[in-house]
Amino acid sequence: MKIYRDCIDTEYSFLNAAPLSGSAETRSVSLKNNRLKQLLSAYIRRYRTRKALVSMPDWQLADIGLSAEQARQESIKPFWQP
């Protein structure tokens, strides 16, 4: 049985780079990079979660309170849609 995690694997460790420090412009870039990291993390998490839903048997879906149709509907959403 597969165990699904709702997190970023080590293959995406580049997203955890140290933030920049220095001038206001540098901090602004750092904040934008941080927002980009958060957005990419959310996209990856949604993609993986939706992919996992498709492969779950009915009894696991029932455990999390979803029907097969609800799981299918969720799984066909693009990763950028919440």
Chain centroid to Cα 66, Å, comes to 19
Strands (E), 19-70: none
pLDDT tens string 3-48: 444 444 444 544 555 555 566 667 777 878 899 999 999 999 999 9
Q: What is the pLDDT of residue 29?
A: 77
pTM of the model: 0.60
The pLDDT assigned to 16 comes to: 55
CB atoms within 10 A of CB 53: 20
Query: Taking 50 as the threshold, does the pLDDT of residue 71 lie above it?
Result: yes
